[in-house]
Amino acid sequence: LQWLRNPGPQHERRTLFGDMVCFLFITPLATISGWLCLRGAVDHLHFSSRLEAVGLIALTVALFTIYLFWTLVSFRYHCRLYNEWRRTNQRVILLTPKSASLPSNQQSLLGLQPLKRNSKETIV
């Protein structure tokens, strides 16, 4: 979620947002277009020439191949960006043992008070 809020430089943020918007628009369009092409192919098989039906089936296969290719390339690109972001944006908390011999006011001055940890943080 942190990466989605701030994925990195401005161009990466725009690319991520643009791909999300395209995915939301292209997915229903590809689904409806594929369904219409297949529906037309079935109608042409029953009432008209087989050549037109084969053409519509080929169009459907091409449409879904291009859609899947774009989706996989886009997903792979954003996974690579996420892995790079994760590699360079690690949060590490160093926990030091409590010292029983120091009074509590000195422990707080040294920063030895108990810390509230986020579930996403790694303890080292």
> What does the longest C-alpha to C-alpha distance in the chain come to?
93
Predicted structure pTM score: 0.58
Residue 56 lies in a domain: yes
Report how far residue 52's alpha carbon sits from residue 36's, in angstroms, rounded to the nearest whole number: 14
Residue 113 lies in a domain: no
Report how far residue 34's alpha carbon sits from residue 8's, in angstroms, rounded to the nearest whole number: 36
Residue 26 lies in a domain: yes
Domain residue limits at 71:
9-87
Number of folded domains in the chain? 1
Continuous segment of H or E residues that includes residue 71: helix 50-88
Which residues, other chains included, contact 48 with Cβ-Cβ below 8 Å and sequence gap of 6+? Answer: none
Residue 15 lies in a domain: yes
pLDDT in tens, the chain (124 residues): 766 666 666 677 778 888 888 889 988 998 998 898 888 888 888 887 788 888 888 989 999 999 999 999 999 988 888 888 888 877 777 887 776 555 555 545 455 555 555 556 665 5
